[in-house]
Amino acid sequence: MMLEHREGGCHCGRVRFRAGVDLDLLSQCNCTVCTKKGIIHLPVVPEDFELLRGKNALTVYRFGTGVAQHTFCSHCGMHAFYIPRSQPDRITVNARCLDGIDGPSLKPTHFFDGRHWEEAQRRRIAEGGHAPATGLNGEVTLKAILDRTAE
């Protein structure tokens, strides 16, 4: 894994973050929310993610199980990062929100079949993917990020 430290954020600049990312891990999901957001996923462990500003600009959207924490800027509506249901102890950065990224040149090499979530999650873990603790809710991960952010 080759981490590079990058900054990024929402469109208006109120939400800014720094993360250690590996661009070889780009992935797409075809669930309804990811499809509509147009997100290209980059998984990040909490230790490699820092919310630089925008804690008070974030709004959280939850649906279904409520495990995922879909954060977005309450001013511009951009989804710069979120806590995924598949790995609620991790963060997913929207690669399109990294500074200096040419969105059309991003080529995801991984795919998560979110329209068949349960089966896709079983397959992801069976293929060696990270298995989160049972019963974990992304709200805990998000709270930890927000608690260590000044504003």
pLDDT digits (tens, 9 = 90+) for 38-65: 999 999 999 999 999 999 999 999 999 9
Q: What is the pLDDT confidence band of residue 132, given thresholds at 50, 70 and 90?
A: confident
Q: Where are the domains of the chain?
A: 4-147
Q: Is 67 left (phi over 0), alpha (psi -120 to 50) or beta?
A: alpha
By C-alpha distance, which of 120, 128, 98 is closest to 23? 98
pLDDT digits (tens, 9 = 90+) for 80-117: 999 999 999 999 999 999 999 998 999 999 999 999 99
pLDDT value of position 123: 93
Q: What is the pLDDT confidence band of residue 135, given thresholds at 50, 70 and 90?
A: confident
pTM for the full predicted model: 0.92
CATH 2.170.150.70 fits 4-147, yes or no: yes
